Amino acid sequence: MTPVKHTVLDKQLKEFKNTPAPQLFLIYGDPFLVKNAFDAVRSFLLKGENSQFALETLEGGSVSMTDIIEELSTYSFMVKQKIVAVKNIPLFQTRNNPDEIGFSSADHQLFAQFLEKGMPEEHCLILTCPGVDKRLKFYKTIEDKGLVIDCSVSQGTRKADLDDQNQVLGNIADSILNSSGKTIIPRAFNLLVELTGFNPELFSQNLEKLITYVGKNTSISIEDVTSVIVRDKKDPIFSLTNALMDKDITNSICYLNSLLNDGFHPLQILKSFENQIRKLLLVKCCVSDMNEGRPMGFARMGFNLFKQNVLPGIIEQDRLNTEKFKALEDFFEEKKAFKKESFKDLLLAPNPKNPYPVFQTFLKSENFSLSLLTQALVFISDLDYQMKTSAIDAKTQMENFLIQFCSKGGFNHDA
């Protein structure tokens, strides 16, 4: 079947009332949009059936292709219909040996043969994943046998990309506002987008807050937005450091210039670079201690195994580090050299109940060598000294740092 965008999914599902619906759905892209699309497909397939008996949910990364096929081939004693959902499956992540997370070409071939043979009648499969590889023959098989739902959104800063992002947020706003009987004036919507950024989940949460705040009023105004939604000045810095972690030179420089134009002090931005690199160095040291100096391969491991096998060790490391930090605080207490929150940013898992950002930090740490991080810290230290002791072009020097940090060549201290 022809892939569809998430924006027309409801229309497509309605058409299946008159034509046979596929037994296979593949949903990929933005996590918030994927979740919404999954809920829509699940509701459509269940048609009022009790999900407790008809729906079997599996976590990708912890199941094999054989497990999935076996689950699809097994009949339920309770209901005729059976839906198997595999969430966050590393379907297009290649597995070269049995210890890696992902699927081998043999797995792909096995699944393709299963699809060609056909699933049992009244059985359906829903797969969700971050992205797909459309070049693979395996993807073409899925496209032919099922419905691919594209929930991806352009992440760039070009006008066309920003228009796509605003369109997505506008659709989310329409859905939430229509169900609550509220409206939002255009200028208030634009302000909410500016304060939130392109974060569909956070945007929807903020809009729900505004709906509650306005009470019986039917319209959300600019005054309502400014009263309820406060932009944390760390948010744009997070955008910059996230681009830095992705080694994205273009967006890094774009966010840097935006922050400087908004009045952020260069030393404040430089400090955010320092904190990020210090954390990456801690990650490198933690991984080295936990795996005897060998890389752990977080991309192959996947989130679920990271949470099960690696996160407990990180939490223990944070506990030990906290004890050391506390000892230092006590030692320097009389001199008032450190504030209580001085070491908070050095915790690897400051909120263990939300482990996904921790996984992302460890995953992205693999973009950098220990040598590069050490050189970067030396560069920042030198630049910090220059900013405080002489009149230099801070903007140009920070751009120079970003270019060298994100490039393959690394740092040239003679430049």
The overall longest dimension of the chain from CA atoms, in Å, is 78
DSSP state of 147: E
Q: Please report the pLDDT score of residue 332 as a whole number.
A: 66
Q: What is the pLDDT of residues 275-325, one digit of tens each?
A: 889 889 988 888 888 877 677 788 778 888 888 888 888 888 888 878 877
Token pair in block for residue 212: 């509650």
In whole numbers, what is the pLDDT of the chain averaged over residues? 84
Q: What is the pLDDT of residues 25-61, one digit of tens each?
A: 999 988 889 999 999 999 998 876 666 678 888 888 7
| Confidence band of 415 (pLDDT split at 50, 70, 90) | very low
Other Cβ atoms closer than 10 A to 195: 18
Q: What is the pLDDT of residues 179-218, one digit of tens each?
A: 899 999 999 999 898 888 788 888 898 899 999 999 889 9
| Confidence band of 343 (pLDDT split at 50, 70, 90) | low
Alpha-carbon distance 86 to 128, whole Å? 7
Query: Which residues touch 53 (CB under 8 Å, ≥6 apart)?
Result: 76, 78, 79
pLDDT at residue 98 is higher than 80: no
Nearest to 380 by CA among 404, 363, 408: 404
| Confidence band of 234 (pLDDT split at 50, 70, 90) | very low
Angle at the Cα of 214 (from 217 to 167), degrees rounded to 5?
Answer: 95
Q: Please report the pLDDT score of residue 409 as a whole number.
A: 67
Nearest to 203 by CA among 215, 190, 216, 222: 190
108 and 138 in contact (C-beta within 8 Å)? Answer: yes
Helices 137-145 and 105-117 meet at what angle, rounded to 10? Answer: 20
Task: Tell which wins on pLDDT, 188 or 409.
Answer: 188
Task: Tell which wins on pLDDT, 194 or 65.
Answer: 65
pLDDT at residue 176 is higher than 90: yes
| Confidence band of 172 (pLDDT split at 50, 70, 90) | very high
Question: What average pLDDT does the segment 215-226 reach?
Answer: 91
pLDDT at residue 231 is higher than 70: no
Q: Please report the pLDDT score of residue 70 as a whole number.
A: 92
Query: Which of these ranges, 120-129, 150-159, 276-285, 313-322, has the smallest mean pLDDT?
Result: 150-159
Question: What average pLDDT does the segment 109-120 reach?
Answer: 92
173 and 5 in contact (C-beta within 8 Å)? Answer: no
Beta bridge partners of 94: 103
Alpha-carbon distance 240 to 294, whole Å? 29
Name, of 161-170, 252-261, 326-335, 344-353, the range with top average pLDDT.
161-170
Other Cβ atoms closer than 10 A to 85: 23
Alpha-carbon distance 306 to 291, whole Å? 13
Domain architecture of the chain: domains with CATH: 4-151 (3.40.50.300), 159-231 (1.10.8.60), 235-406 (1.20.272.10)
pTM of the model: 0.57
What is the chain's length?
415
Question: What average pLDDT does the segment 403-415 reach?
Answer: 71
Q: Please report the pLDDT score of residue 187 as a whole number.
A: 92
Q: Please report the pLDDT score of residue 95 as a whole number.
A: 64
Task: Tell which wins on pLDDT, 352 or 181.
Answer: 181
What percentage of the chain reaches a pLDDT higher than 70? Answer: 88
Question: What average pLDDT does the segment 84-96 reach?
Answer: 83
Token pair in block for residue 293: 């100096």
Alpha-carbon distance 209 to 200, whole Å? 14
Q: Please report the pLDDT score of residue 389 as a whole number.
A: 87
pLDDT at residue 336 is higher than 60: no
Q: Please report the pLDDT score of residue 299 as a whole number.
A: 77
Question: What average pLDDT does the segment 72-96 reach?
Answer: 82
Other Cβ atoms closer than 10 A to 275: 14
